[in-house]
């Protein structure tokens, strides 16, 4: 029997006020999960067939993520926009099904995922955030032109994100597992193409992070991400560094670490390289050294783009100027300067031996939200 969906109001705007959605309150686990997003050209997707299977620890928690498809920087951009829009969404309570419309119940049911430990679905008990939007509004928030190619790209990204299964449990108590899909998506046609709407529900963990003002979250400024366009490498590094560097602070990082964020050396990364080489003979003839050089150049180019964002700066650790602290005594400042110069010398020696060991200092500015 076909599902009957409740008619939807047609007063949702096709455009949004960008100033009304200045940032996304993202889940730090998703921002820091290694290998979740990687640089992958959309044209290359037809040549690969690699499922995604990740496992990592985040403090006392173990996180597992699986998906039939690899995710790239474009999928990251769409997820960021959905998370940002969800701040103005409404809350759905699965414990009170009498208050849910038919399409809202479908969204909640689609969030359920088989428990990897028991092989069956567990009922949804936590409240989740629900939002509706037009693809045009989502493209405007991301910063991509509203053309047919980008509309199709967003639809493909939504499908890939909706197939992600996320499992989270305390490392020392694996029986307390939470298993659900990253998001659920439902597209509903309106009276005309102008009124077509996409409905989405976020998983309980992400919903709680967005709804709770006291929750620990990663704040990602959308004015910054819109300036990155479709630069996948820059978007991936921007999200990762936003989760790792507090606003108004500086942290050192090596070239090797940054390249690893873009091209993880995991099983999926090895399989991806093999399948791309099989599909493109030129890549098969490319030496490993040349591949690393190209990856290094792409990372450096992405960091140069990040350095153009207001408040951000990137410079080599060996060239970092010494900034005296006015609170220190003259003796303390002298010792601090000696330590700084010694660190710069060590950074120069490491870079001379192996360019991947080069250390850079990345500063993240304070955003005016």
How do beta strands 165-170 and 178-181 pair?
A: antiparallel
The reported pLDDT for the residue numbered 117 is 47
Residues 163, 258, single domain; the answer is no
Q: Please, where are the H alpha helices in 245-280?
A: 255-262, 267-279
Q: Which of 159, 192, 227 is the last residue of a domain?
A: 227
Residues 250, 160, single domain; the answer is no
Query: Residues 259, 263, 267, 272: is their CA dihedral positive or negative?
Result: negative
Least confident of 65-69, 71-75, 289-293: 289-293
The reported pLDDT for the residue numbered 268 is 78
- Rounded-to-integer distance, Cα 347 and Cα 369, Å: 36
Residues 156, 66, single domain; the answer is yes
- Taking a C-beta distance cutoff of 8 angstroms, is the pair 34, 56 a contact? yes
Question: Does some domain include residue 235?
Answer: no
Residues 299, 207, single domain; the answer is no
- Rounded-to-integer distance, Cα 224 and Cα 219, Å: 11
Question: Does some domain include residue 237?
Answer: no
Report residue 363 CA to chain centroid gap.
20
Residues 163, 14, single domain; the answer is yes
DSSP state of 321: P
Residues 204, 291, single domain; the answer is no
Least confident of 95-104, 248-257, 304-313: 95-104
Residues 281, 362, single domain; the answer is yes
Averaged pLDDT for residues 53-64? 92
Least confident of 35-49, 293-307, 310-324: 310-324
The reported pLDDT for the residue numbered 224 is 94
pLDDT above 50 (res 69): yes
Tally the domains of the chain. Answer: 2
- Taking a C-beta distance cutoff of 8 angstroms, is the pair 202, 181 a contact? no
pLDDT above 80 (res 1): no
Residues 329, 295, single domain; the answer is yes
List the domain range (segments joined by +) for residue 258.
Answer: 245-369
Report residue 175 CA to chain centroid gap.
28
Question: Does some domain include residue 238?
Answer: no
Question: Does some domain include residue 232?
Answer: no
Residues 207, 286, single domain; the answer is no
Question: Does some domain include residue 196?
Answer: yes
> pLDDT, tens digit, for every residue of 221-270?
999 999 999 999 999 999 999 999 999 899 999 999 999 999 988 777 78
> pLDDT, tens digit, for every residue of 84-94?
998 776 677 66
Residues 288, 162, single domain; the answer is no
Residues 196, 269, single domain; the answer is no
DSSP element (H, E) containing 64: strand 61-67
What's the chain's length in residues?
Answer: 369
Q: Which of 160, 194, 227 is the last residue of a domain?
A: 227
Percent of the chain with pLDDT strictly greater than 90? 42
Question: Does some domain include residue 129?
Answer: yes
Q: Read off the tokens for 341.
A: 């110069």
DSSP state of 238: H
Question: Does some domain include residue 38?
Answer: yes
Mean pLDDT of the chain: 82
Residues 307, 341, single domain; the answer is yes
The reported pLDDT for the residue numbered 315 is 86
Question: Does some domain include residue 40?
Answer: yes
The reported pLDDT for the residue numbered 191 is 58
Q: Which of 193, 227, 261 is the last residue of a domain?
A: 227
- Taking a C-beta distance cutoff of 8 angstroms, is the pair 267, 75 a contact? no
Could you tell me the pTM of the whole model? 0.84
Least confident of 62-76, 162-176, 268-282, 303-317: 268-282
Residue 324: pLDDT band with limits 50, 70, 90: low
């Amino acid at each position: 029997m076909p599902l009957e969906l409740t008619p939807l109001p047609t007063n949702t705007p096709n455009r949004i006020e960008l100033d009304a959605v200045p940032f996304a309150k993202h889940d730090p686990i998703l921002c820091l999960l290694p290998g979740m997003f990687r640089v992958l050209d959309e044209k290359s997707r037809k040549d690969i067939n690699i499922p995604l299977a990740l496992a990592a620890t985040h403090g006392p928690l173990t996180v597992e993520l699986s998906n039939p498809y690899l995710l790239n920087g474009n999928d990251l951009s769409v997820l960021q926009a959905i998370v940002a829009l969800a701040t103005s969404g409404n809350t759905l309570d699965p414990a009170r099904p009498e208050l849910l419309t038919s399409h809202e119940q479908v969204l909640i049911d689609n969030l359920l995922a088989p428990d990897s430990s028991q092989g069956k679905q567990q009922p949804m008990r936590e409240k989740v955030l629900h939002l509706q939007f037009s693809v045009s509004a989502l493209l405007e928030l991301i910063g991509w032109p509203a053309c047919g190619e980008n509309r199709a790209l967003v639809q493909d990204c939504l499908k890939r994100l909706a197939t992600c299964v996320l499992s989270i449990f305390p490392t020392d108590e694996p029986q307390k597992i939470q298993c659900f899909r990253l998001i659920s998506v439902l597209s509903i046609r309106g009276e005309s193409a102008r009124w077509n709407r996409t409905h989405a529900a976020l998983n309980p963990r992400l919903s709680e992070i967005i709804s709770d003002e006291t929750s620990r979250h990663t704040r990602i400024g959308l004015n910054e991400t819109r300036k990155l366009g479709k630069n996948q490498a820059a978007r991936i590094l921007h999200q990762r560094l936003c989760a790792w560097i507090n606003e108004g602070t500086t942290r050192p990082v090596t070239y090797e670490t940054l390249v690893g964020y873009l091209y993880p050396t995991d099983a999926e990364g090895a399989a991806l390289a093999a399948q791309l080489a099989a599909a493109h003979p030129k890549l098969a003839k490319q030496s490993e050294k040349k591949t690393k050089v190209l990856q290094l150049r792409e990372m450096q180019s992405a960091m140069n783009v990040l350095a153009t964002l207001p408040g951000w700066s990137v410079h080599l650790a060996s060239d970092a100027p010494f900034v005296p602290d006015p609170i220190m005594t003259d003796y303390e400042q002298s010792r601090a300067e000696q330590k700084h110069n010694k660190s710069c010398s060590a950074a120069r020696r490491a870079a001379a031996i192996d360019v991947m060991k080069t250390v850079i200092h990345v500063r993240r500015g304070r955003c005016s939200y």
